[in-house]
Chains A and B, each alone.
Chain A
Amino acid sequence: MPDMLPFLRLTERAEKGTRAALYLSVGLGTGLVSLLILATLLVSVALVAVAGAGLIVLPVHLSLVRRWADAERRRTGSFLGRVIPPRHRPLPAGFGARLRATLLDTVTLREVAWLVWQAVAGVALGLIGMVALVGVPSTLLQTALWWMAPDGEPATLALRPVSDWPSALLLGAVQFTVLSALLLWGARPLARLHATVAAALLGRSRVDRLAERVETLSHTRAGALDAHAAELRRIERDLHDGTQARLVALAMRLGLARSRIDEDPEQAARLLAEAQSGAEEAMTELRQVIRTIYPPVLSDRGLVGAVEALAARSVVPATVSVDDLGAVPASVEATAYHLVAEALTNVAKHAEASRAEISLSRIGGWLRIAVTDDGRGGVEEGSGTGVGGMRRRVAALDGEFTVVSPAGGPTRVEALLPCGS
């Protein structure tokens, strides 16, 4: 229906505009709070200069700034549809070390800069957002109810006094047009401007990012090498103790059967039968080993097809939802596949769930894998639930891994894996 299209576009625009105006309006509140924090922070700093007492108050204050900034990271991140990672390294123990770490952290400065931005631009843009949000419905009310205004203090529409119906309708229409335009076309760019600046200040600086990355990379690289070596040893052991041993036994039976075939054909037949089942067992075992190295269905069908195959054979009924994933490196695909497989095994073993949901999506340069079940929750790491193994797999790729599992459920296992773009 082509004639429906402009209308649909308009609704979509209105939805996005409303979301943006909401984001800005909430920013008004957070801006005011930021202003307050900023003011008290100045007092703290002044106290340090005047008397030592500030040394005790200041760190408390800065940790408050941290938490406040974290909240905004989540809010702005969810508006922009990307993750703004909290960048703080955990604080060291001990009062002096803690103070030094907080003060020397360049991010602290950036957070203070953000407080200023939020206090100034947040409040100003927040007011505009507020107007955009309530403007349209309130214009309609004002236009309809202009005559209720007390004498001597006439209602105003489009900044002009209203005295009769024709002027009310005309001016109402003007104000309506201006305010809807603000909501439909103005709110989003303003919100994006505000969010982008906030994200730039709250996100990691380049130097920070690089330093942190070097640190985690050297850490995870060592872990990955260990994991890789352990994996090769396991495969070697499986092939050596399992398949190879079976083939030796099989060849031996065949040799025996061959030497016995004239003397004792019955025994030869029995040996041949044994050799045959031995060969079949070896094939079954080999198939299992191959599956743990690189699941064949993954190379045949890619990640989505392979995960759908996992869902199809899951003990607990599972559904799969997939967004456009773009290009995903093979190592990431393999890790994602094993994660889903392990998560589903956990659900079947521990969760007492009736259904599970697998979702795969792409967030910028990250592949997000989430497995949620409606089971009893309370998953603890290290209680033989395989969570530790999943965490190691994700760490080996330099990804992020979280498990949320309150007692009573639901349990959500989520991993973010970098796709190198």
Chain B
Amino acid sequence: MRVVIVEDSAVLAEGLNLLLSTSGFEVVATVDQAAPFLKIVEEGGTDAAVVDIRLPPTFRDEGVQAALAARRLVPGLPVLVFSQYVEQVYARELLSDGRGGVGYLLKDRVSRVGDFIDALKRVAAGGTAIDPDVIGQLLVRRDSPLTRLTAREREVLEQMAQGLSNAEIAAKLVVTERAVHKHIGNIFAKLDLDPGDSGHRRVRAVLTYLDA
């Protein structure tokens, strides 16, 4: 799989390069700014991108803008955005085109090598990987419809938002897949959502709902 890294910190870029190439990805380019990244994307042949949020020249949210611009060039281009801190507003913006293939993670998660690689693979396959901290931010709101959920259902939702499949959630929470299926049914019912979707559309539905 051909991956572009957009990261201005040389240390981190090198680390990511090492991590991805040893995990079976082909790193086609490492750039430190939005413009060359978009040029590479436009040339085609990129399967996924890993993008830092803060980039030169202003070190603000160029990464988010670059990711959105890249996905306007190549709709659905899998992009994993990562940052030193997470804000749910960024997650909302990244997910807003509803195409999936979006990841939004804290930089810390890179240290869990296996999880990080899994997340990138999920994103590359059109799924989502939203950081648990974002979901945590959503859970504190008192008026959130999520308050209707049981603790277990919230756990399931959190895993779901991170992009895990039912089987993966079952393994992680040490319950049967049937139980997970039932929890998800309850979640959809309690949040008045249309059941039946899977993958990133579930996350989008949840985020859209919370946005209202």
Contacts and interface: CB of A to CB of B under 8 A. Distances in A.
Contacts of A301: 60-61, 89
Contacts of A290: 84-85
Given A276-B111, A280-B108, A283-B107, A297 B87 contact: yes
A315 interface: yes
B88 interface: yes
Interface in B16-72: 53-54, 59-61
Interface string B84-123: 1101110000000000000000111001100000000000
B143 interface: yes
A291 B85 contact: yes
Given A280-B108, A296-B84, A300-B54, A313 B140 contact: yes
A149 to B, nearest CB: 64
Contacts of A297: 85, 87
A138 interface: no
Nearest to A353: B142
Interface string A290-305: 1100001101110001
Interface residues of B, number: 20
- Specify the main secondary structure of chain B where it touches its partner: loop
A219 B106 CA distance: 43
Given A276-B111, A287-B84, A315 B141 contact: yes
B89 A317 contact: no
Contacts of A309: 87-89
A149 B105 CA distance: 84
Interface of B: 53-54, 59-61, 84-85, 87-89, 106-108, 111-112, 137, 140-143
Sort A-B residue pairs by CB-CB distance and give the 9 closest, nearest first. A317-B143, A300-B60, A300-B61, A283-B108, A313-B137, A309-B87, A296-B85, A309-B89, A315-B142
A140 interface: no
Interface residues of A, number: 25
A316 interface: yes
Interface of A: 276, 279-280, 283-284, 287, 290-291, 296-297, 299-301, 305, 308-309, 312-317, 348, 354-355
Contacts of A316: 142-143
A48 B60 CA distance: 69
A297 B54 CA distance: 11
Nearest to A313: B137
Given A300-B60, A308-B89, A280 B111 contact: yes
A280 B107 CA distance: 10
B111 A305 contact: no
A309 B88 CA distance: 8
Given A287-B85, A313-B88, A316-B142, 15 more contacts: A287-B84, A297-B85, A299-B60, A300-B53, A300-B54, A301-B61, A312-B88, A312-B89, A313-B87, A313-B140, A314-B141, A315-B141, A316-B143, A317-B142, A354-B143
Contacts of B87: 297, 309, 312-313
Interface centre among A284, A296, A305, A315 (most CB of B within 10 A): A296
